[in-house]
Amino acid sequence: MRPASVGGELSGEHEGARVAPRYQRNLGSLGRAAQGRLFAAHILVVGLGGLGGYVIEQLARCGVGQITGVDPDVFDATNLNRQLLATTSTLGQHKVAAARDRLALVNPDCRFCGIVGRHPEVPETVWAAVDLVFDCLDSIEDRLDLAARCTLTGRTLIHGAVAGWYGQVAVVWPGQDTVRMLYPQSGPGWEQDLGTPPFTVGLTGSLMVAQGIKVLSGTASPSHRQVDFLDIREGRWCQTVL
Amino acid sequence: MRVKVKLLSVFAAHAREDAEGLTAIPEGATVRTLAESLSLPMELVRIITVNGRQVYLDEPLAEGDCIYLFPPALGGG
């Protein structure tokens, strides 16, 4: 990470430094040192649909200094029930463009770089610069490929996926094969049958961000292949080690 | 013999009420036998762990095994 100077007034060891009012309500839970790390962080978010929309929104509000967002698609009317960036104004617009406009409104201190395309098009210079990667994709092949690239580059991956009332989140530390264990076989997802309600997306995306913030702030330690499963219908949150 | 079953995600909603917890299965039963006896949609039985180790459908089960069955979510929202 670069020095903690982007987007806020924290600097050096962060002791006694002034914090912009927009971040003051973060400090009680995150702490000043973690807030400084967030200012300095560069995050790669792959997929700017439902999960990706919530992820970049919260990362920007937390004070992350720079986000690179990747998505090839445009918004259509079926996205409106759950995707934060999908509005009647952004229909037909590239998701990357909507993300840029949204973050400019939410937190102009957060620098956003958008790539209209898929993650293999992310330049090596970006891979070299990012501190953390979010997997907000929707196909097994793409998820496995992104996880492999994270392993290759030594980056930690925050995995998230949803279907109906159910969500799953995992912190994939470099070298772990959690994503491959989650998808031992190819095949269609079952969210086509269950649909994708907005509350599942919001909750799962929020948990992804919380896990990511813990990784960035140094309060999460590498664990075994733990996956959090959310069952909103039954009100259960189950942590399993694969 | 008896094994302990834990169903996650959509399986918990679809299986019969007594599917979770201690379940009696015949000697020599495999994960496939167990999943079929619980009336789970077999095409979705993709992740199986037995005593914390990932296995596949033909894994033989033993007395006291703890089995997790769940389908991974895939959607990006």
Q: What is this structure's pTM? A: 0.88
- What burial letters (b/e) apply to A176-197, b meaning 16+ CB within 10 Å? bebbbbbbeeeeebbbeebebe
CB contact under 8 A, B46 and A183: yes
CA distances from A65 to A77, A86, A193, B3 (A): 31, 24, 38, 50
A51, A165, A166, A209, best to mutate vs chain B, most B CBs in 10 Å:
A166
A177 CB within 8 Å of a chain B CB: no
> Which tens digits make up the pLDDT trace of A146-166?
999 999 999 999 999 999 999
CATH architecture, range B2-70: Roll (3.10)
CB contact under 8 A, A138 and B72: no
Write out residues 191-220 of A within 8 Å (CB-CB) of B: 191, 194, 196, 200-201, 204-205
> Which tens digits make up the pLDDT trace of A15-51?
556 899 999 999 999 999 999 999 999 999 999 999 9
Residue type at position B73? A
B66 CB within 8 Å of a chain A CB: no
How deeply is A157 buried, as exposed, middle or buried, from its count of CB atoms within 10 A (0-12, 13-18, 19+)?
A: buried
CB distance A100 to A120 below 8 Å: no
What's the topology of domain A41-241? Answer: Rossmann fold (3.40.50)
> Which tens digits make up the pLDDT trace of B4-42?
998 877 787 777 777 788 889 999 999 999 999 988 888
- What ipTM does the predicted assembly reach? 0.76
CB distance A132 to A208 below 8 Å: no
CB contact under 8 A, A162 and B77: yes
